[in-house]
Amino acid sequence: MVYVTEDLVRRRAEHNECEIFSLEEVSLHQQDIERIEHLDRWCRELRILYLQNNLIPRIENVGRLKKLEYLNLALNNIEVIENLEGCESLQKLDLTVNFVGCLSSVESLRHNIHLRELFLVGNPCERFEGYRQFVVATLPQLKCLDGTEISRSERIRASQGLEEVRRRVAEQEREYLRRRAEEKEEARRKEAGEEEEKKERKPGFSGRWSTDINNMAPGSEENKENQELAENPKNPEVDEEEREREFWHTPCTFTPESRLEAHRHLEEKRRAKEKGKEKKPKAPRTLITADGQVLNLNEPKLDFSLTEDEENSSIVLDLAVYSKNDTPERLEVDPSKRTAIDLANIVPRQSAKAGPMEASGAAPPPATDRCSEGFVEDPDIPPLI
C-alpha cells in the first residue's frame, strides 16, 4: 500500500522549489495510492489536484482545501460522491471510470455553488435510466456534464419530471446495491480460496496431515495419487505459466475488487522478477587450497586450450584474449642474453654544465646580416653603442 508522504509530495513539488505550504498544483497520478490523506493540512493553497489512475476507494480529507478549483479522481475505485462540501471554490470534478453506483450522492454537490463541470463517464450510474436528467435537475449550477454543454431548454425539461425520475433512480440504485453485495461476497470467497490454494502450493505441504494414516493404506486413492506424482513430477515453471494464462483469460466482472486483484497480481509478479534479478553474493576467492596447492583462476572467462607439444617437450596455451590485448607483432629475445633492462640508456644523458641547447647537439650557425655585406669601417666615426 502506497501512502501520501511528505517526501512524495515534495518530490512532486519541484516546480515550486519543493515547498509544499505554498503549493498550488500537484500531480500524484499513477502512484498506486489507496487513501487521500495529509494534503488538506500540508497544502492549504492547492488549486489543482491530480489523483487519477490510483486505487482510491473513497473521497476524504479534502474538505479543508478551500481554494481547490479542479479535482481529478478519474480511474479510481470511488463508489460514492461525498465529503466535498468544504471545497468552496470547486469548479471542475472528474470522476471518469470509477464505480459510482449511488447516483443520488450527486446531491451532496449542491453546496458547491461554483461547480461548473462534472464528469461521470464510465460509472455504473451512467447506465441508469434518467441519469442525465436527474443530474441536470439536481445541480442547477452545472454548465457542462460529461463534456456536453447543458442548454437552458434541457434544464427546463429536466426539472419538469424530476419526481418521477428520482423514483426510477432510487429503484435502480437498490438493484445495483443488491448486485454489489453479491459481488463483494463472491470476491471474499474467491480470495479465501486463493489463500487456501497458496498454502497447498507451499513446498513440503501435501494437503494432508501426518495423522491421516488411514488414507495411506496400500491401494488407496491418496496412495495412487502420490505414486503418479512421483512418476510424473510437475514442472513448477509450466504450472506458473498455466496459472498466469488462467488468471488473465478467466472472465470476471469489472469491480473495485477485480481491479485491486489485478493490481496485486502485477505487483506480486514485479516483486518476484526483482527478487530474481538480485545479485547473489560472490563466493570468496580461493587462491591456495588447504593442502597448499596454488589455483589458476580464469575470472574473465576467456576461452583457452592446452595442447601438448611432444617434439619440444612443452605445453602450448592458446588463449583468446580481448581485441585490445590482441597484438599481431611479437618481440624476439635472444635467450642467451637475459639481462636486466637498462632504463638509463633510453634517454641520452646531459652534462651538468651544459644547457638545454648544448645537450641537444651542436649550436646552429650564426645568422648573417645582409646589410653588413660591403660595409667598410671608418676609423674617424665612433662605433654605435
C-alpha angle 237-240-241 in degrees, rounded to nearest 5: 90
Inter-residue contact 40 to 62 (CB < 8 Å):
yes
Q: Which three cell numbers stand for residue 134?
A: 436527474
Q: How many CB atoms lie within 10 A of CB 177?
A: 12
pTM of the model: 0.62
User: pLDDT grade, residue 2 (50/70/90)?
Assistant: confident
Q: What is the pLDDT of residue 355?
A: 52
Residue range 360-382: mean pLDDT, rounded: 59
Q: What is the pLDDT of residue 344?
A: 57
Inter-residue contact 306 to 316 (CB < 8 Å):
yes
DSSP β-ladder status, 148-149 and 144-145: antiparallel
Model pLDDT for residues 227-264, shown as the tens digit of each residue: 665 555 555 666 777 777 776 777 777 788 888 888 88
- Amino acid identity, residue 254? F
Give long-range contacts, CB 8 A cutoff, 24+ apart: 119-122: 119/74, 119/93, 119/94, 119/95, 119/145, 119/146, 119/147, 120/95, 120/96, 120/145, 120/146, 121/96, 121/97, 121/146, 121/147, 122/96, 122/97, 122/98
Q: What is the pLDDT of residue 101?
A: 93
Residue range 293-297: mean pLDDT, rounded: 73
